[in-house]
A and B are shown apart, each in its own frame.
Chain A
Amino acid sequence: MRRAFLAFALLWAGSGCSLYLPTRFADRPPATRVADDAPIPLPQHHELLETVRWSDIYLRRPLVRALDPERPPRAGDVNSIDEVPASSWFQPLTGEELSDAWWGGGPPEPPIEAIGGKPDVISGAIRVKDSRGVIYELEGDPAKAPNSRTSAGPITARLIRAIGYRTAPAHRIAITREDLVDGDPKNRVLRRGQERRVMMATRWPLGTDIGVTPPRGLRADDANDRVPHEHRRTLRALQPIAAWLDISGISAHCMRDAYVGPPGDGYVQHFYVRSSPGLGSARLVAGQPYESAAGVVAGSPLVNLFTLGLSSRGIDSKTPSDTRLLASSPSVESFTASTPYEPFDEVRPDDVYWALKRVASISDESLTRAVQAGGQPLAEQQRMIATLKQRVLDLAALTLTAVTAIEFESIDKDRLILQDFASYRFGDQPVPHDVWLYDARGHLLSRSLLPPGPRAALAIPRVIGLDYLVVRVRARRTPMPRAAELHLRLHPSPHLVGILH
């Protein structure tokens, strides 16, 4: 009896493992805007407490991940057609609106006064107030890598804004003593004897700063915050975006929250704030001494350990041979963030694909204007633009190994028109696609093959009693990517209700 029960249980488990049950979408239009701007009281300031954060990301996180065999859930801020609607987290802009967001009130207007206090955005930055009373954080270039951070910051901030993230506006500026109140007698901005300095000015806060965006969970005192942050595509997708822009130092400190509006009548907006380590600029000073809680870090760890720190390496480290932005960057595929960031643990192929689509949506004009903000010579701008475009192609190639990049175009009578995104957007060689049709319960109705092409049409079956149709499509690529699904309601006439990638 016991053996029979065991055999039954094993059989049930075995058969159950392969059960496919399609998602069922509601028959309503996809959300295009999230109503997460209801007035709330001013939330508490939240900073990451480093000691416990480190025990969290290096002890709790790997333990919990090892004990959780389930797949990361689909992102919670994604609508039924696999897009991220506009919200306090994401606000796609184009044209003049995008230019205005980039400008963001412009660079500080003289006279500028150093006001002291701990910077919120960039550690080691100088907080200043301009003649309008607007606060900025100023950051200079490392001595051995001129035009690195001050150039990369404005470009990175603009490109991330062009993708759709709210960003702290950043500008590359040149400051002279005449621009500073009383000529900066205490030399807080300019060093002694220095008359001019190129710096990056990041405007922050944009509202009332309420600290770092918690990397996981919710902000408990924000009633509009309903999706755990590790389940947000906007945060998960920062990984492929960071790979594209080579932001090696991307971490929880890159996102900050600001309360916008008068106390009691405002709401929280979420900003990407730390843009200066972008375009590989953080790598240009790798090997240069820098401050950490453990002390000044210089040279190679192993050499340091075995020479008791007495090796001459690191004292006067040579700057990398090629100090141009993105010149020493690893490929998109081999990019890794220097510290773990909880939302990256949950990244799914559909999140990466969405990031690719957002990156690919940046127009050539926007890309060119963003790169111009770095103040580099024309030839260097052209090289950077070409490199960024090539990295988009690299990101696309990487994404296509995991996702079937099929897009819905339209329904023409009883024909479903589909686009091969890679072929359509990047001119890739089209590939054939396997197609399976399922009903709402996951029963296979038919199987067919879509011929290769940028666009393809599929006949929609009209069967009595069939109201919900799942079109499962998988590209014939090596390695085989996961299938995409298009969900259709057939009555009163066929229409799309959902997409899964």
Chain B
Amino acid sequence: MKRGRSLLLVAWVLFGTWFGVPSSARGETRGEREGSRGQAQPPAADTSAGPDGKPEGATASEPGAEVQTRPEDVPGIERGGREAGDLSRELAGGLLWLPRQTVELLFFASGNAAGLIDDEQVIPRVEDTLNPPKGEVRVFPTLFVETAGPLSVGMRMLARADNFGSTVRFGFGGRRELVAESRLRATLAEPRPIVLGIELLHDVRGSRGYLGVGQEPTSDPRNIFRTDSTEREGKYEEIRERFITSIGVRPLEDLELLLSSSITSRHLLDADDAEEQRLSRVFDLEQLPGGLGLRRITYNEVGLRVDTRKGRNGAHPGIQLETYLGHALGIPPTETSFIRSGGRIATYFEVYKRSNILSPRLVLDTMRPLDNASIPFNELTRQPDFRGFDSRRDFSSLVASLDYRWTVMRYLAARLFADAAIVAPDLPGLRHETPRFAAGSALDFFTRSGSLGSVTTVFSPEGFKLTLSFGVAGGFGDRQHRD
């Protein structure tokens, strides 16, 4: 009795499950479902009367009979054949299976979201949010090579569903050069485009350089070099962790308002293998603001950007204005408090043809301590917009650039550029310094809708630099993402 009741229960559950699942899950086709009202059809291959009225069971050689078949049964093959030479191809194919699968795994890919990849806060325009690609989880490789720098290879995984996108990035450039980063973004198109973001970063940079402050650090009296050192560049290792939350809104078509907060932890260590170039061997650490050790700083920033260009790739005429104000505060025991402010102005105008764009640009950054607090040396303003060697730090910075960009062909553009950069202890001091110069050229590669990579060569009195990047955004982004 008990057993009978159990069987009845199982049968009822199975029956209920069968009718509960969608017909596609049951493997039922439209013809079967509609046909089931009148007649049942065999599951694999069925032969029904054709328009000419031929009876069921017509053979292959009898034309006119309609035979409906499941997709997997269409070929009608019992056993696959083999042509002469196939065996050796299969053998070679088997040997190459592992490298082939490695490539497939590396690339099982095609997914991108500009805001997730660019190191910059960008709010999509309304039309870009209408048809967001979604439901994709993809991986693609990244490569960054720079002369006199470590080769960095890695991969970036992207996922996107509805209004959410996320990315995880890993990069590896040697024993003490690695980065891991995760970002999550939510985008709302209505009533106005809004982007919310959360980011986590962990990286280790084994050989960072510090020349001291000022445009000419070796002669700047603020730098206290050790008397027993002949070196003038100190090396240190930095282990960094960063958490950023951000919100951006585009209230008007060309206007973006950006708010962001971050907590950054930096652990600075002497670069042990730098020998005489160790930071502690070059500088008097007692006199070096912040010195080595662990520091935690919060930073909040508000930014406003007006960008009348149709796109951000430099190919469209327009004006770009940007200003920001940020406040940094040390988390005890880190004692620091300072304000960052600045902006940039750039114009992009056509030269002779629509495909040629000339763009002069001015970028001003400045910072001031609050309450006479000390600013750690590695928080001082740097010059990531300067495409030469970004080795100067101070309280104020001005970078002037002139870019000439022309489209060579579909997917390829070329650039010539020249930069001048000055740092100084204060804004008036910028007028008294002699700028450093750099000039170079670049080839930018594009996809149908965005940037793919670039090759950049830069010449400056300090040396030559060749940079190759693929699958990562070039340059640096906003203040939150710098350094």
Contact = CB atoms under 8 A, between A and B. Distances in A.
B138 A49 contact: yes
A78 B69 CA distance: 12
B112 A50 contact: yes
Given A17-B85, A56-B109, A80-B60, A24 B447 contact: no
Contacts of A85: 67, 69, 74
Contact of B99 (A67, A221, A227): A67
A13 interface: yes
Per DSSP, chain A at the interface is loop
B71 A29 contact: no
Contact of A309 (B27, B66, B71, B353): B353
Contacts of A51: 110, 112, 117, 140, 447, 449-452, 471
A419 B244 CA distance: 73
B93 interface: yes
A19 B87 CA distance: 8
Interface string B61-93: 110011111111111111111111111111111
Contact of B110 (A29, A49, A227): A49
Interface of B: 22-25, 27-33, 45, 47, 58-62, 65-93, 96, 99-100, 103-104, 106-107, 109-113, 117, 127, 130-131, 133-136, 138, 140-141, 158, 311, 313-316, 351-357, 404-414, 416, 444, 446-452, 471
Interface string A300-313: 01001100111000
A18 B24 contact: no
B81 A45 contact: no
A500 B81 CA distance: 11
Contact of B93 (A21, A50, A70, A411): A70
Given A45-B131, A289-B354, A294-B446, 8 more contacts: A26-B78, A33-B66, A36-B71, A51-B451, A56-B109, A293-B313, A314-B355, A410-B61
Contacts of A28: 45, 60, 67, 76
Contact of A70 (B62, B84, B89): B89
A118 B130 contact: yes
Contacts of A93: none
Contacts of B77: 23-26, 80, 498
A31 B74 contact: yes
Interface residues of A, number: 93
A257 to B, nearest CB: 13
Contacts of A45: 131, 133-135
Given A310-B356, A497-B60, A52 B140 contact: yes
Most chain A C-beta atoms within 10 Å of own C-beta, residue among B76, B133, B141 = B76
16 contacts: A21-B82, A22-B81, A29-B62, A29-B67, A31-B73, A34-B69, A34-B74, A38-B23, A51-B452, A52-B158, A68-B93, A85-B69, A295-B357, A309-B356, A309-B406, A410-B61
B354 A24 contact: no
A424 B140 CA distance: 52
B315 A294 contact: yes
A377 interface: no
A8 interface: no
B392 to A, nearest CB: 31
Given A28-B76, A56-B107, A295 B87 contact: no
Given A26-B78, A39-B33, A292-B410, A495 B59 contact: yes
A71 B80 CA distance: 13
B75 A76 contact: yes
A31 B79 contact: no
Contact of A496 (B30, B60, B87, B130): B60
Interface stretch (A57-65, A275-283, A450-458): A57-65
Contacts of A49: 110-113, 133, 136, 138
Contacts of B471: 51, 55
B160 to A, nearest CB: 8
A50 to B, nearest CB: 4
Contacts of A314: 353, 355
Contacts of A23: 77, 79-81
A298 B140 contact: no
Most chain B C-beta atoms within 10 Å of own C-beta, residue among A226, A292, A301 = A292
A44 B404 CA distance: 43
B135 A46 contact: yes
A79 B67 CA distance: 11
Interface string A437-461: 0000000000000000000000000
A195 to B, nearest CB: 28
A47 interface: yes
A10 B120 CA distance: 59
Contacts of A305: 408, 414
Contact of A495 (B60, B67, B158): B60
Interface of A: 13, 16-26, 28-41, 44-56, 59-60, 63-64, 67-71, 74, 76-81, 85, 87, 117-118, 120, 221, 223-227, 264, 267, 289, 292-299, 301, 304-305, 308-310, 314-315, 408, 410-411, 495-498, 500
A301 B407 CA distance: 9
Given A20-B84, A32-B65, A498 B76 contact: yes
Nearest to A266: B30
Contacts of B413: 294-295
A212 B82 CA distance: 35
A345 B223 CA distance: 63
B93 A55 contact: no
Given A39-B24, A304-B406, A292 B448 contact: yes
Given A18-B84, A20-B83, A41-B22, A295 B355 contact: yes
Nearest to B161: A44
B140 A304 contact: no
Nearest to A482: B83
A495 B58 CA distance: 11
Contacts of A308: 356, 404, 406, 414, 416
B356 A64 contact: no
A55 B126 CA distance: 27
A54 B135 contact: no
B81 A17 contact: no
A67 B30 CA distance: 41
Contacts of B104: 60, 64
A57 to B, nearest CB: 9
Contacts of A74: 75
A296 B310 CA distance: 12
B71 A55 contact: no
Contacts of B449: 50-51, 293
Contacts of B158: 52
Contacts of A52: 109-112, 138, 140, 158
A318 to B, nearest CB: 16
A83 to B, nearest CB: 10
Nearest to B107: A60
Nearest to B129: A118
A22 B80 CA distance: 7
B130 to A, nearest CB: 5
B76 A26 contact: yes
A28 B141 CA distance: 48
A188 B269 CA distance: 62
A35 B32 contact: yes
A132 to B, nearest CB: 24
Contact of B72 (A29, A37, A226): A226
B106 to A, nearest CB: 8
A117 B127 CA distance: 7
Contacts of A267: 30
A492 to B, nearest CB: 11
Leading 5 A-B pairs by shortest Cβ distance: A309-B406, A295-B315, A52-B110, A23-B81, A80-B76
Given A34-B74, A79-B76, A305-B408, A64 B112 contact: no
Contacts of B45: 28-29, 31
Contacts of B24: 38-41, 223-224
B78 A35 contact: no
Contact of B69 (A22, A35, A304): A35
B71 to A, nearest CB: 4
